[in-house]
Amino acid sequence: MALARGQPRRLDMPTATMLATLLDQEMLSSRGIVIAPSDTSIPELPVCTGSDVYERHLGKRLLLRYIMRKQYDEFLHGSSRSHFVTTTPYPADEAVSSLALPQPTPRRYVLILDPREIARIAGPRWVRFGTGIEYFLPDGFPRRALLAGWPIPVR
Amino acid sequence: MVSQSILDTLTTIQDRVAERHGFSRLSDWADRHGSWERTIVRRGELLSFIVALAITETDEGLFEITALSGAESGPRYRRIDGGALHLDDPDEVTVRAAEIEAVVDAATIAALAVKPDQLSSTRESLRAAAPAA
């Protein structure tokens, strides 16, 4: 079911950031995908293939992994460590609050990841102490998952 | 660069605090958009208490250790920013272990002090939004 029509609704959070997150929540919900509570442990999250997440969860959308400037060239060949990623584009400073990041430096670069190139993806789950939606990459991501091949600047 | 041995030291510190306050692991070390983070949880009758320990290599080349904690109940939550310690070298975690443990302990105690009526933030939903006045 798509967004309710006809009945005007009032939201107390009119920022574009919040609206973007709400639309992602609606997208997942309309596809029957449940966003797990933030206190769900990683082993309790459902694990899907990246292709399944791409087709069935995200409607052929991509995943985002914000990075510190210091990490600019750290993942150009992919990464085997575990990463959290999100569905939602945020301005550099609002990524910190929406994703409840522990370090407040605005994230001015983002990696765009193609889920189809990632073998296993867990989630989605609500971000603890934040309003964002996250997925978990237990095995990281290969180089070929980097859509642009390098980080994209974010304002 | 944050090495596995640094993360192992921080795990030992966090697990000591977890055991003292009845927490268990929620998420093992992973890179959360630039910070290595590990979280522990204690699920209560009304609230879940979560404490995150993070280490970040800042853009200035320092290493920042942060404790972030709070409580959640469904879409409602309260976040408490704990202390942060700055290290010139990540290997300092060994000699400053007591300091780090004190920060994590304080963040954990602060989380456990949260009452249900203190959950001041809410994740909204389009479907739950009130009709316009």
**pLDDT by residue (tens digit) across B17-42?**
999 999 999 999 999 999 999 999 99
Residues in CB range of B57: below 8 A, 6 or more apart: A68, A70, B1, B2, B63, B90
Q: What pLDDT score was predicted for residue A2?
A: 43
Q: What pLDDT was estimated at residue A14?
A: 57
Best residue in A101, A120, A131, A137 to probe B by mutation, most B CBs within 10 Å?
A: A101
Q: Give the residue carrying structure tokens 């983070």.
A: B37
Chain A: closest CA distance from residue B95 (Å): 22
CA distance, residue B33 to nearest chain A CA (Å): 5
- Residue tagged 């237990």 (tokens): A138
Provide the shortest C-alpha distance from residue B77 to chain A (in Å).
6
How would residue A17 be classed by pLDDT, with cut points 50, 70 and 90? confident
- Give yes or no for residue A115 having a pLDDT over 80: yes
In this complex, the residue of A39, A81, A102 whose CB is nearest that of residue B56 is: A102
Q: What is the pLDDT of residue A12?
A: 60
pLDDT band (50, 70, 90) for residue A1: very low
Does pLDDT of B127 surpass 90? no
Amino acid letter, residue A84 = F
**How confident is residue B55, by pLDDT bands cut at 50, 70 and 90?**
very high
Secondary structure element (H or E) that encloses residue B50, with its range: strand B48-57
- How many Å apart are CA B97 and CA A149, to the nearest integer? 39
Is the Cβ of B56 closer than 8 Å to some Cβ of chain A? yes
What is the pairing mode between strands A47-49 and A120-126? antiparallel
Is A102 touching B (CB cutoff 8 A)? yes
Average pLDDT of chain B is: 93
State both tokens at B32: 């959360």
Q: Enumerate the residues of chain B whose CB falls inside 8 A of the CB of residue A95.
A: 33
Average predicted confidence (pLDDT) for chain A: 91
The interface pTM score, or ipTM, of the predicted complex is: 0.91
DSSP state of A60: S
- Establish if B132 touches chain A: CB-CB under 8 angstroms: yes
Do the chains contact at B72 and A37, CB–CB below 8 Å?
Answer: yes
State whether A95 and B37 contact (CB < 8 Å). Answer: no
Residue B82: predicted pLDDT? 86
The pLDDT value given to residue A6 = 47
Whether chain B has a CB inside 8 Å of the CB on A80: the answer is no
DSSP state string for A88-132? S---HHHHHHHTT-SS-S---EEEEE-GGG-SEEEEEEEPTTSS-
Grade residue A95 by pLDDT with cuts at 50, 70 and 90.
Answer: very high
Nearest residue on chain B to A97, alpha-carbon basis:
B79
Task: Tell me the per-residue pLDDT of A119-154, one tens digit each, with 9 for 90 and over.
Answer: 999 999 999 999 999 999 999 999 999 998 899 999
| pLDDT at B50 exceeding the cut of 60 | yes
Share of chain B above pLDDT 90, in %: 84
Counted across chains A and B, CB pairs separated by less than 8 A come out at 131
Please answer yes or no on whether B50 and A107 come within 8 Å at the CB atom. no
Pull the structure tokens for residue B12. 């030992």
Pair of tokens at residue A28: 């997942």
- Percent with pLDDT over 70 in chain A: 91
